[in-house]
Amino acid sequence: MRKQWVRLHDVHGVVRWTRRFLDAAQVPDAHVIQMNTPPLPSTPPPSSSGNLSPVVESPRTTHQSSIDCASPNDLLQKLHQAPTEDCHVIMWQPLDTTPANVTVLGSVVPPATASSLLEISKLPFYMKYAWFLHQVHDLVVPYDELHIKVKVMRDAIVQEAVENLLSYPPRALCAIVRYEFTGESAQDAGAVQREWCFLCYISGIITLGRYMLVSEGLLVEANGLFVVLNREDNSYFINPNSSHAWRHPNHMDHLKAFHAVGRFLGRSLLDGQVIPMHLSPVLLKAILGVPLTLDDVEGLDRTVHKGLLYLLDHDNAQDLALTFSVSETHGHNTVVEVELVENGHLRAVTDANKAEYVRLMVRYLVFGRVEAQLSALLQGVYDVVPPELLMPFDHKEFELILCGLAEVDVADWKANTVTSSNLDNSSPLQWFWEVVEAMSPVDRSRLLQFATGSSRVPVQGFKGLTSYDGEICRFTLKGVPYEGGAYPATHACYNRIDLPLYPTKDMMKEALTMLLLSDPTGFTIE
């Protein structure tokens, strides 16, 4: 539910969470997820000094910097020697004992800052988003002070993404990154970075560069990190079985992979890159530190949610033969019994204790079964972006920032397109938009990916398209002379299509159709 929870000052001037909608006779207990220790030193601001040389090469290239990894094997050895756990302990905190001016990492926001963030949260979304963009822009390390060049192999993009993300020192997490696919001719001005994100979603893992490639890879269920628990909205949640399901060619621990996923999400926020993923509202709320209740179980499993409500609303709970334990699958077919309390398998659920059972089940479903994974992911996100910057947003606004708009609005696309003079008021220009309007939603998204490197639209719409450096870069159609058999040429780094001046609409439609049949995730020409 949107806006169910808001931060407000109480009568003593303390910032508290307030529930705005009470539509049930029995109000469920609320909890927040927080770390109970101060965060590790955050990424220094761009003006701070560092020991890195101006150019940091990926471990896959030459090594000329203080990221001292002589070979990929050396890097992996260092990653494997690092402790799996960090110094934080993640907690399931009762809301009534937790002030709302405490971040997810457990740090207290000063009163003046908390008041300012509270006022920002009341602004319209477009104003809040403009404020957010200004704040993250200040985090980016100037290119001449530090930048990173990364060479990646397309068929190993997820593996390399995870390893690279974990290898960067704190300041490098906010440095400008340039990507190059080994054996491909594209020069990165942002499109290769966007595509990197996409490929990681399709192939099944995570990394930091081609946003489209990486995000696609990290959500594939076969990779084991995330799973679709709610088939009604196809949203992804942390896989409780990830320790057994995660597969990495170098046997990297699954918690390190979640730490890298978090850094990837934080980096996408920093770069203003949208990713083609739909996270569960429960996970979005957990990242933001928004209160969670029994109502949120519905977003994970509607059947279980109905069962818990039925248990609360009806007598004779003992007839259901429930105990304070739950079955959990480890590996492919090993079922273990997890106890919600000590000796829970021996304790029957009755009318007298069913409220306690429901509270413990909510904790287990939303938090307990993914506690370690969630801790690693949260730390990764906030390695890059300070948690205060996300405090003004609700979970739906956060999803918009992170994922952009799934639907391609042709009218908005057309209104925010720059055309060359030889296309002005021309038949080819009219035919192009007629062909695009007649496309299926899937084909429009594919055309957008060819043209920009991303299949999704920024939250501001097409007017928010950017180049690699975050600067506005409108979609451009450039008319070029038609030669027999010519196809449109895409320059995704600059959001541009070179459109041959076809003599007929049918020829243009055929050419665009053939373009969409090719692979949008390869850079072999431009």
Residue 262 to residue 381: CA distance in whole angstroms: 4
Q: Is the pLDDT of residue 303 over 80?
A: yes
Element (H, E) at 382: helix 371-384
| Ramachandran sector of residue 204 (left: φ over 0; alpha: ψ -120 to 50; beta: rest) | left
The reply to whether 501 falls in a domain is: yes
pLDDT of residue 296: 95
- The mean per-residue pLDDT over the stretch 136-142 comes to 89
Output DSSP code: residue 405: B
Is the model's pLDDT at 51 over the cut of 50?
A: no
User: Tokens 């220094």 identify what position?
Assistant: 44
Residues 331 and 420 in one domain: no
Asked if residues 157 and 203 have their Cβ atoms less than 8 Å apart, the reply is yes
Domain shared by 139 and 76, yes or no: yes
What's the CA dihedral at 364, 366, 367, 371 to 10 degrees? Answer: 110
How much is the average pLDDT of 265-284? 88
* Spatial distance between the Cα atoms of 308 and 354, rounded to a whole number of angstroms: 9
pLDDT tens for residues 351-360? 999 999 999 9
Total structural domains within the chain: 3
State which residues form the domain around 354: 295-358
320 and 211, same structural domain?
no
- Listed residue (507, 509, 453, 503) closest to 179, CA to CA: 453
- 403 classed as catalytic: no
Does residue 524 belong to any structural domain of this protein?
no
Q: Which two tokens stand for residue 246?
A: 């995660």
Does 335 share its domain with 415?
no
* DSSP 8-state class, residue 462: G
Contact by Cβ (8 Å): 207, 297: no
pLDDT at 83 (0 to 100): 38
Q: Which DSSP state fits 367? A: T
Cα 114 from Cα 127, distance rounded (Å): 18
Which is higher by pLDDT, 119 or 68? 119
Q: 48 in a domain, yes or no?
A: no
Residue 271: burial class (beta carbons within 10 Å; 0-12, 13-18, 19+): buried
Q: Does one domain contain both 380 and 341?
A: no
Residue 46 inside a domain? The answer is no
pLDDT (average), residues 232-243: 90
What H or E segment, with its residue span, contains residue 238?
strand 235-238
Residue 162: C-alpha distances to residues 264, 380, 381 (Å): 9, 12, 14
End-to-end CA distance of the chain: 45
pLDDT band at 59 (very low <50, low <70, confident <90, very high): very low
State if pTM tops 0.85: no
Shared domain check, 329 and 270: no
Whether residues 237 and 379 fall in one domain: yes
* Region of 386 on the Ramachandran plot (φ > 0 left; ψ -120 to 50 alpha; else beta): beta
Catalytic residue among 69, 174, 197, 493: 493
Q: What is the CATH classification number for the domain harbouring 476?
A: 3.30.2410.10
In a domain, 365, yes or no: no
In a domain, 47, yes or no: no
* Number of neighbours of residue 487 by Cβ within 10 angstroms: 14
Structure tokens at 230: 């709610």
- Confidence at 3, pLDDT banded by 50, 70, 90: confident
457 with 409: CB under 8 angstroms? yes
CATH code, 392: 3.90.1750.10
CA angle 214, 220, 225 (to 5 degrees): 90
Indicate the pLDDT class of residue 154, thresholds 50, 70 and 90.
low
Same domain, 393 and 500: no
Tell me, yes or no, whether 273 and 354 share the same domain: no
Please, are residues 99 and 14 in contact by the beta-carbon 8 Å criterion?
yes
d(CA 189, CA 177): 10
Helix H segments across 464-521? 505-517
* Higher-scoring residue by pLDDT: 329, 44: 329
**Same domain, yes or no: 285 and 299:** no
Residue 188 has pLDDT above 60, yes or no: no
134: number of Cβ within 10 Å? 9
Write out pLDDT tens, residues 372-427.
999 999 999 999 999 999 999 999 999 999 988 878 999 999 999 999 999 999 99
For residues 314 and 349, give the distance between their C-alpha atoms in angstroms, rounded to a whole number: 13
pLDDT one-digit tens code per residue, 80-128: 333 334 456 899 999 988 889 999 999 999 999 999 999 999 999 989 9
Residue 320 within any structural domain of the chain: yes
The answer on 252 and 303 residing in a single domain is no
pLDDT, position 44? 41
Amino acid 507: pLDDT: 96
Q: What is the pLDDT of residues 511-520, one digit of tens each?
A: 999 999 876 5
* Alpha helix stretches (DSSP H) within 82-190: 111-121, 125-137, 157-167
The tokens of 61 are what? Answer: 């290239």
Gap between the Cα atoms of 282 and 301, Å rounded: 11
In this structure, is residue 274 part of a structural domain?
A: yes
Residue 50 neighbours by CB distance under 10 Å:
15
452, 194 Cβ separation under 8 angstroms: yes
322 and 435 assigned to the same domain? no
> Residue 455: its pLDDT value, please?
83
What integer pLDDT is reported at residue 519 of this predicted model? Answer: 61
Considering the chain, what percentage of its residues have pLDDT values greater than 70? 78
